[in-house]
Structure 1
Amino acid sequence: MAMAGISSPPLTSQEVQRLSQRLQESEMFSAHDDGLPKFALEEVAVGNMIAQGGFSSVHHATWMCTPCALKKIFDPVLTEELKAEFENEVQMLRRLRHPNVVTLMAVCRTPPALSILTEFVFGGSLFEILHGTAPRPRGSLEADPATLLPVVRQAGVALAYLHAMMVVHRDIKSQNVLLTEGNRPIAKLCDFGLARMRSELCTGSMQWAGTAPYMAPELFAKRKYDETVDVFAFGTMVWEVAAAEIPHANLDAPDIAHRVQTKEFAGLGVPHSWPKSLKNLLRSALSAQPDQRPAMTHIVTELETVIREFAIS
């Protein structure tokens, strides 16, 4: 004898609403995106361009009433290599969680508008503070070593964290250190487009990439390298803050390569009046021999001594 089917009670309006919300949430946090929120480019109010690289541009933007930075690929031809570079940066930012690393907010993987949204850091870059020509508002940060070296130390703390996570940034420079507003700014390391896991170094495309004035000798020579290329670049940035000058200004890459491979302090001028602790830090961080460069944890500790000496000088 067949049994009559048992019908389920109809869903209440609250249950329908809850299921609808769960569907929306599953679309925003899909398995493909590894739990990252998604956005569509038409949802974003795009403002002024902040920076531009070889394949992408960064803009001030607003998404869901929130100020943010929009980085989007502008190359009309989306090659597999370009898609891989984009995905690499997304995954790097996704796995890194640190107070001195910019926070990834959402990702758009819809071609051709491959884009990411990160927090917007209102104080500008370390480069702009050091070398900017625009008038600075009253009460803004002073561009002197005693003020800026503690900020650089924060970037060093972030870099030490990256290395502990087996990540090599490969493009440490003053343009990629952002500062929050105020008299006690927080440094935020950004632009992970060239970052790689340590096991992936010296493989694939763009393996010798970087920004010439901050590049270590082994990158110019296309030799095997490790995370100490970041230490070298960080040392160059410390010199930049202490000297308030652009490193290797007006030199071509071959000239820079010769200087960093053959001269003490990578060919950068180091006055006798600088504290001994600073000269020792630069001598080790800018060594032409990678195995003579200290770990970032050591550099950060040494920088504390440098900061104290600048404060009393």
Structure 2
Amino acid sequence: MDSSIQNRRLKANDLARRSIDDFCKAYGQAPLDLIAPFERDEIIIGRRIGSGSFSFVYEIQTFHLRPDQSDIYTEEQVERREATARSVNYGAKYVMKCLKDELEHSEDEDLFIEAAQDISHEAEMLAAVSHPNIVKLHGVIANRHDAFLDGIIFHDLKPDNVGFDMLGNLKLFDFGLARFMPQYGDAYEDLYEMSGAGTPRFSAPEVFFEKPYNLKADVYSFGVVLWEIMCLKKPFAKCKHRKEFEKALKRVDKVLAINRKWPRSIQDPIRRSLSGDHAERPTMREVCNVLNDCVLGLEDSEDEIIIGRRVGSGSFSSVYEIQTFHLRPDQSDVYTEEQVERREATVRSVNYGAKYVMKCLKDELEHSEDEDLFIEAAQDIAHEAEMLAAVSHPNIVKLHGVIANRHDAFLDGASSFFIILERLESTLSDRIEVWAKESKRSSKSFSLDNRIRVASSLAGAVEHLHYHGIIFHDLKPDNVGFDMLGNLKLFDFGLARFMPEYGDAYEDLYEMRGAGTPRFSAPEVYFDKPYNLKADVYAFGVVLWEIMCLKKPFAKCKHRKEFEKALSQGTALAINRKWPRSIQDPIRRSLSGDHAERPTMREVCNILDASREIKYCTDDYCSTRKEPSKSSSKRFFLKFSSSTASSTSATADTLQDLLNDSEQSITA
């Protein structure tokens, strides 16, 4: 290797290391320690889909992880690596961003060093923030560490840096110029000497003229973007020379004129954001509140949750769709700062397409002849809330809210205690029914890949519960749902329980109350014998059998004695020899009457991931995913303002592309 190139690499690496050490000394654990680490040869990339001044972006086709890396990575890092790799199997799409090789050979010796600092800094920034409208960091090079800070200025806010993923969700990206603000002073009021950065047309006057500035430089940039969203024209388009632009920048209110036909609630944030005096600009939180009220048209309401029709019902509970939220203003004296922020974020998410449901107990439970029924149901729904708050996984339904006074809620009646969950559109039972109808209509070969994806996703969710010492107790197709994007979600945690802390939850047996649906219950659970986590493995085996067979398990058992005999003998769920061996094996082992012979859910996950190489079988599959609807311009700027206030998945378009399309359609 050329010695000059080697020197450049060493210098860039040394600067990065010193930066890492300084950050860690000042702020403790680095957020990148929690991001999945990957070696370069573990990632199989495809075509190049984007490029910048310093970097290329490639699509990731799949991951080939090295086996048994527990001696290299932490337990959490190993879990994140495997979860990311598995997610590709159920439709997740990722890209890899890296520097261009030719930078090392540039005549400008410092160019490579500068670019290296920018991309490592971008990783650090993305690891430190999490927001639905900021592009998510899913992995970094294995030997990379960074630090934790807070208070970020984006520095280059413009439509070209605002993207939309394949589902239409807005994502702010390209954090190469983003920087943490100094830790002293008020970042919205005090001024700081910082190097000017960004695109001139979107830069605040104080940044362009290299004067001290603060976070309100981003507010100015947002004002320019919002003006372009409303006007559908390039800002400062008539300025052909630098002097013209400098002159226009000093009279922005005249050049970026506000149309009086726009709603006043839009005119105001644009006018204030574009003020030449930073002190007169609002904060991004104020902008969010104005735009949020503009779209929602909120009014005072006694109840904070406006529910619609009932969309589901169980033995003890009812589920209602949530139409919108009407939050009481200024609850800072009631809730913590983080709780206030989470409440507001949940409300805003409804504006850009998120759907939620409210689950509560049925009022008639209070009047039941069985005195203990209400108490038991209340325990189950409260327990479900605790369980969902303790776990986080892409294939487990997410808990978004609970009743504020949850400890005393039942004093006001059965339906007073509620939990807020993400809305699901269908269940695995629905999907199996569709598959069964399609298979009868057609005998042509089809890919088994989709059904194995479903099984693999479900296995991953159950394995995650077992990793945290939780037994689900009621695994069945009716408790497996799909959201509006087709993502699998395990739900209904009313019977889930934490395993005892002593012993081995996969080997030792425990005296626990039997629970679940008989057709999916392990023999030891049904016959009230001691059991362990492998009772869930048995239930998963029954579900996997139903996914493959497209028939109800134990359907021929009409009476209790018939069912008990079939359960004891283990002969009712016959395995079709035409199924791939890699599917036959986990079903056969999972359905063993002896719990010791059943695999762990980690073993099941590994087998199903490997079986994804199988492509064809004699059945047909009907996809139920829907195309995302296009957002209005109001939704665009609402999402955009929300993400800017808080401050790598693939993006399909940028905001600039959409603005260009809108401008062309108007011209036409």
Question: Which TM class, normalised by the smaller chain length?
Answer: 0.7 to 0.9
Match of 2:360 in 1: 72
Does the CA-based 8 Å contact 1:70-1:117 persist in structure 2?
Answer: yes
The answer as to 2:222 corresponding to 1:222 is no
Shift of 1:195: 0.1
The answer as to 2:450 corresponding to 1:147 is yes
Structural RMSD (CA): 2.7
- Partners of 1:248 and 1:81 lie apart in 2 by 29
The answer as to 2:496 corresponding to 1:180 is no
Does the CA-based 8 Å contact 1:73-1:114 persist in structure 2?
Answer: yes
- Partners of 2:309 and 2:568 lie apart in 1 by 40
Does the CA-based 8 Å contact 1:48-1:59 persist in structure 2?
Answer: yes
- Partners of 2:473 and 2:556 lie apart in 1 by 22
- Partners of 1:41 and 1:126 lie apart in 2 by 38
Identity of aligned residues (%): 26
SS at match of 2:319: strand
Query: What are the ranges of 5 or more consecutive residues in structure 2 without an aligned counterpart?
Result: 1-300, 326-346, 368-372, 439-445, 502-509, 618-668
User: Structure 1 pair 144/247, CA: closer, same or farther in 2 (3 Å)?
Assistant: farther
Of the three residues 540, 546, 550, the one matched with 1:240 is 546
Q: Which of the pair has more CA radius of gyration?
A: 2
CA distances 1:159-204 after superposition (whole Å, capped 9, x unpaired): 101001000000111111112345xx3211110000000119644x
Match of 1:272 in 2: 577
User: Structure 1 pair 282/165, CA: closer, same or farther in 2 (3 Å)?
Assistant: same
- Partners of 1:106 and 1:162 lie apart in 2 by 21
- Partners of 1:145 and 1:235 lie apart in 2 by 17
Does the CA-based 8 Å contact 1:125-1:178 persist in structure 2?
Answer: yes
User: Structure 1 pair 118/169, CA: closer, same or farther in 2 (3 Å)?
Assistant: same
- Partners of 2:302 and 2:606 lie apart in 1 by 43
Query: How many pairs align?
Result: 258
The answer as to 2:564 corresponding to 1:257 is yes
For 2:533, the aligned partner's letter is: E
SS at match of 2:310: strand
CA distances 1:197-250 after superposition (whole Å, capped 9, x unpaired): 0119644xxx21111211110111100011111111111111111111122226
Q: So what's the TM-score if we normalise by structure 2?
A: 0.36
- Partners of 1:88 and 1:202 lie apart in 2 by 20
User: Structure 1 pair 282/62, CA: closer, same or farther in 2 (3 Å)?
Assistant: same
Match of 2:598 in 1: 293
Of the three residues 384, 392, 400, the one matched with 1:97 is 392
User: Structure 1 pair 256/106, CA: closer, same or farther in 2 (3 Å)?
Assistant: same
- Partners of 2:561 and 2:538 lie apart in 1 by 18
SS at match of 1:291: helix
Q: So what's the TM-score if we normalise by structure 1?
A: 0.75
Shift of 1:80: 3.6
- Partners of 1:278 and 1:41 lie apart in 2 by 54
- Partners of 2:400 and 2:452 lie apart in 1 by 29
Of the three residues 382, 386, 392, the one matched with 1:87 is 382
SS at match of 2:400: strand
Match of 2:316 in 1: 55
Does the CA-based 8 Å contact 1:202-1:208 persist in structure 2?
Answer: no
Match of 1:139 in 2: none
For 1:104, the aligned partner's letter is: L
Query: What are the ranges of 5 or more consecutive residues in structure 1 without an aligned counterpart?
Result: 1-39, 137-142
CA distances 1:93-120 after superposition (whole Å, capped 9, x unpaired): 1101111111101112323222111011
- Partners of 1:250 and 1:56 lie apart in 2 by 30
